[in-house]
């Protein structure tokens, strides 16, 4: 069934999910008691991802893919969201998500290694009123909220605390700044207590003398993803 097609099918040149080469195999669909899929199954022996593949045997560029099982290791954070949870993706969209996932994984590794120059940090001119003149801005993020940090607990959600403000958020080599709708907020990096992220958002908890506060931003396609934000903040916190 696949003769003459496998050599030219783009996903088989390398795994879209983990980018390993020579690890994918395609098998015919199997149905048991009428249950199963009509599409062939694409498997990767390196990351153990499993996807359904729909393609035109006469046109190797006309295909789409849907992942059924994926590896949730933090290494694959980006692709687990944009490939693993996306449903059916066209060839164009799947290849774009795979390419972006590879770039994101390299950037996260660079951040862990303390290589942050690719972020092209800048000194604002003029700086915010809460900034020192020499502070370098590494991240600028929109639609960030500041809220009271909820007390720790199993059933507590990150957004349970009362919202205090929202606005544009700056991460520098010295401080966290929120240019809020109500006022400007700033905290030294050494006031950070915890940095977290999941598939929807990132959060930073800071301890003040009065209370614990939480900065939170959601994943958005046109901004840095939550894992990358958290990694950069953690590295700057470590280096401060």
Q: pTM, whole model, 2 decimals?
A: 0.87
What are φ and ψ of residue 8, in 5° steps?
A: -120, 0
Residue spans per domain, the chain: 6-112, 117-239
pLDDT band at 29 (very low <50, low <70, confident <90, very high): low
Q: Are 89 and 65 in contact (CB under 8 A)?
A: yes
pLDDT band at 220 (very low <50, low <70, confident <90, very high): confident
111-165 pLDDT, tens digit each: 999 999 999 999 999 999 999 999 999 999 999 999 998 776 544 565 667 899 9
> Given a cut of 90, is residue 19 above it in pLDDT?
yes
Instruction: Write down the pLDDT at residue 56.
Output: 75
Q: Are 78 and 109 in contact (CB under 8 A)?
A: no
Cβ atoms within 10 Å of 194's Cβ, excluding its own: 14
Q: Are 141 and 226 in contact (CB under 8 A)?
A: no
What CATH number labels 117-239? 2.30.29.30
Instruction: Write down the pLDDT at residue 74.
Output: 95
- Between the alpha carbon of residue 221 and those of residues 39, 97, 200, 218, the distances in Å are 30, 11, 11, 10
């Amino acid at each position: 069934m696949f003769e003459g097609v496998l050599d030219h099918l783009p996903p088989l040149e390398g795994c879209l999910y983990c980018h390993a080469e020579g690890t994918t195999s395609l098998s015919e669909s199997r149905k048991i008691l009428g249950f199963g899929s009509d599409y062939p199954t694409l498997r990767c022996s390196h990351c153990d991802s499993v996807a359904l593949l729909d393609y035109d045997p006469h046109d190797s560029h006309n295909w789409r893919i849907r992942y059924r099982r994926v590896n949730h290791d933090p290494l694959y954070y980006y692709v687990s969201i944009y490939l693993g949870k996306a449903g059916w993706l066209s060839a164009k969209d799947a290849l774009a998500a795979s390419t972006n996932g590879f770039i994101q994984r390299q950037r996260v590794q660079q951040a862990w290694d303390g290589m942050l120059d690719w972020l092209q940090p800048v000194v604002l001119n003029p700086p915010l009123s809460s900034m020192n003149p020499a502070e370098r801005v590494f991240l600028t993020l929109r639609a960030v909220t500041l809220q009271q940090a909820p007390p720790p607990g199993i059933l507590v959600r990150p957004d349970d605390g009362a919202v205090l403000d929202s606005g544009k958020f700056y991460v520098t080599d010295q401080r966290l700044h929120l240019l809020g709708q109500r006022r400007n907020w700033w905290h030294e990096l050494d006031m950070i207590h915890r940095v977290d992220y999941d598939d929807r958002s990132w959060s930073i908890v800071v301890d003040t003398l009065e209370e614990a506060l939480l900065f939170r931003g959601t994943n958005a396609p046109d901004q840095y993803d939550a894992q990358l934000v958290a990694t950069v903040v953690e590295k700057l916190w470590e280096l401060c």
